[in-house]
Structure 1
Amino acid sequence: MGQIMRPKMSRLIRAAELYYERNLSQREIANILGTSRSKVSRLLAEAREVGIVEITINRPIEKMPELSEEIRKAFNLRDVVVVAAGETYLDSLRNVAKAASELLLSIIERDITIGITFGQTLYHTVQALDETPVEGVEIVQMVGALGEGDSQIDGPEIALRMAERLHGTYRYVHAPAVVESQEIRDVLMQLPQIQETMNRAANADIMIQGIGSLAEEMSSLERAGYISSEERLMYQEQGAVGHLVAKLIDGQGNEISSFNNRVVAMPFEYMRIAKWSIGVSASPLKASAVLAAIRGSYFNTLVIDDKSAHEVLHLIDSE
């Protein structure tokens, strides 16, 4: 708040209390404080500027049931939630994350396991998650950690935060998401702790993950240093359009084995049989990756913004 003399700070707080908590008019406040209405207006403005007053607008997210049903029927999915995109990518991300958190709370039950990955989408989903005690819930990583960059969006932190919100427990994968060779990956996957976590992840009742894109500046794998920009282009030439649990997929949902055999993650096939396998995405730049994941049957439920939904339908129509 900066250095404000105590008498002035007290005056700012008093004006804010009278206006925002007691709903008095500026004229009434002026009479109480023995000053002018214009002075009260300046006090209230300064109270906001220095952080005494913080205004939060809780906008309800706009859902689009008709478009949701169109997408659901087009791809034979279990459930689809389409929400209005925001003015910026961050706005869209928050809208989609809020919808994903609401969906999660609507399907969660006691004594279940939730599998998670990493990334901005899941970070914002957990941020939007209301604190809700759920007896016996366990959060498990389905893939190793990014290990670099913003720790808030990494799998261990997301698992911890979600467990805190749901009053549950968590299990980490104590390994990086991508290692140097298939041989190293195979050794790690045989370690008892990792094997147990992967087994729990494979049997998770709910799996929820963001859908990674290989569009420039969109890939968390590139930001974490697991692939270079040159390697990204190389894998794109091999047909890669996105990634799930750090594994690359082509436009038909097939794996890019030259990369995926180095990924410490749960096998893809378990996503196809989970009771709830939820994909969450908030950018039209990820439309190709979303469509590829649908074609691979890697999730049965989708939470997406309307611009992305229309782009996915456009990709189908243009084929």
Structure 2
Amino acid sequence: MTIQSVERSSAPDSIKSREALRAAQLYYLQDLTMDAIARELHTSRSSVSRLLSFARETGLVEISIHSPLDLSTRTQHEIRTRHGVTAHVVPVPDRISEVDRLERVAISAARILSGLVDSNMTIGIAWGSTLSAMGRHLLSKKTHNVHLVQLNGAANTRTSGIPYAGEILSRFGLAFGAEPHQFPVPALFDDPETKKALFRERSIRRVLDLQRRTDLAVFGLGSPAAVVPSHVYAGDYFDQADHAILRDEGVVGDVATVFYRADGSDDGIALNARSSGPSLDELRAIPRRLCVVSGLSKLDSLRGALEAGIMTDLVVDEDTARHLVDA
């Protein structure tokens, strides 16, 4: 159980936050009943209930459950032992659609991310279906001097990608009071030389420099076989020749449109020379890297990513995690 403090302000939202914080401290730390809290705060029991709900919804209160007998806890420990990754396994029913499974995982990932974000950070965001789902469930957290930087371009032959990637960045920015920095380049260049030339432009170098100063990267994993289609595979990002490269090179997934094989290798994959995303080496240089994965159809992509060592933290649904450790 963690209860966050709030800064003093005369704004109505801050007054409500202070009242919610006081109610949470009395309820969770001093074990007072709602009736007792209502008497102390000179309000009604229903108002106390609303304040406690507000405290949870806004991240003032974070609740964690730890049990050595829980299957998810044992699975998390197994992933940590095998792969050196801090895992958060999300319980989900066996009979659930892949869309609902993604929503469950996205809700948990959004709350975990809130605990990782702090002031004076630069956060790298790789757009995609998973991050789009996370953006709908983010908790507001008061920070200052936080920068959000888009890790890979989103443009293709049909769209600039700005509305899609921009909406994701905007949601994260609003949640953390952060300044978003878009990356206005193609997801995949037609020619590696064009990429090199554009990356020499000062306006683009400014974003690249921000990416290199990233403290925390947040990303999902793309997969050619995903039931909930990864945006890069469902959109107009590949032509037939590109799809042939994916097949011939044995690509099992990507992170920020950088592709890798089942053994975690990425050398010699021609598409990577044209990708706007950070190389796997550049990604591994980021101190904290939160990866969010949902669905058995992404199991091969997850295994390859773990072999590549591109994550420090993992949020994954229980079924996929169980298959990962059973293998």
Matches for 1:96-245 after TM superposition, within 5 Å? 96-146=105-155, 154-215=164-225, 218-228=229-239, 231-245=242-256
Task: Kindly indicate whether the alpha-carbon contact (under 8 Å) linking 1:84 and 1:305 is maintained by their aligned counterparts in 2.
Answer: yes
2:282 pairs, out of 265, 270, 273, with: 270
For residue 80 of structure 2, what is the aligned residue in structure 1? 72
- Where 1:226 maps in the other structure, the secondary structure is coil
- Where 1:111 maps in the other structure, the secondary structure is coil
**Cα offset, 1:229, TM superposition:** 6.2
- Where 1:81 maps in the other structure, the secondary structure is strand
Greater displacement, 116-125 / 147-156: 147-156
Task: Kindly indicate whether the alpha-carbon contact (under 8 Å) linking 1:109 and 1:134 is maintained by their aligned counterparts in 2.
Answer: yes
Q: Tell me, in whole angstroms, the C-alpha distance in 2 between the residues paired with 1:199 and 1:206.
A: 15
Q: Tell me, in whole angstroms, the C-alpha distance in 2 between the residues paired with 1:66 and 1:312.
A: 13
Task: Kindly indicate whether the alpha-carbon contact (under 8 Å) linking 2:155 and 2:186 is maintained by their aligned counterparts in 1.
Answer: yes
Percent identical among aligned pairs is 21
In the alignment, is residue 290 of structure 1 matched against residue 297 of structure 2? no
**Cα offset, 1:138, TM superposition:** 0.8
User: Which stretches in structure 2 are left out of the alignment for 5+ residues?
Assistant: 1-56, 58-62
- Where 2:277 maps in the other structure, the secondary structure is coil
Task: Kindly indicate whether the alpha-carbon contact (under 8 Å) linking 1:120 and 1:153 is maintained by their aligned counterparts in 2.
Answer: no
Q: Tell me, in whole angstroms, the C-alpha distance in 1 between the residues paired with 2:256 and 2:161.
A: 17
**Cα offset, 1:173, TM superposition:** 0.5
Q: Tell me, in whole angstroms, the C-alpha distance in 1 between the residues paired with 2:251 and 2:244.
A: 9
Question: TM-score, normalising length from structure 1?
Answer: 0.74
Q: Tell me, in whole angstroms, the C-alpha distance in 1 between the residues paired with 2:154 and 2:135.
A: 17
Structure 1 letter corresponding to 2:191: S
**Cα offset, 1:246, TM superposition:** 0.5
Task: Kindly indicate whether the alpha-carbon contact (under 8 Å) linking 1:110 and 1:135 is maintained by their aligned counterparts in 2.
Answer: yes
* Residue-by-residue CA offset, 1:91-143 (whole Å, 9 max, x unaligned): 11111111111111112111101100111110111111012221111110111
1:301 pairs, out of 313, 320, 323, with: 313
Task: Kindly indicate whether the alpha-carbon contact (under 8 Å) linking 1:146 and 1:224 is maintained by their aligned counterparts in 2.
Answer: no
For residue 85 of structure 1, what is the aligned residue in structure 2? 92
Task: Kindly indicate whether the alpha-carbon contact (under 8 Å) linking 2:155 and 2:184 is maintained by their aligned counterparts in 1.
Answer: no
For residue 249 of structure 1, what is the aligned residue in structure 2? 260
User: Which stretches in structure 1 are left out of the alignment for 5+ residues?
Assistant: 1-57
**Cα offset, 1:202, TM superposition:** 2.1
Task: Kindly indicate whether the alpha-carbon contact (under 8 Å) linking 1:279 and 1:301 is maintained by their aligned counterparts in 2.
Answer: yes
**Cα offset, 1:146, TM superposition:** 4.4
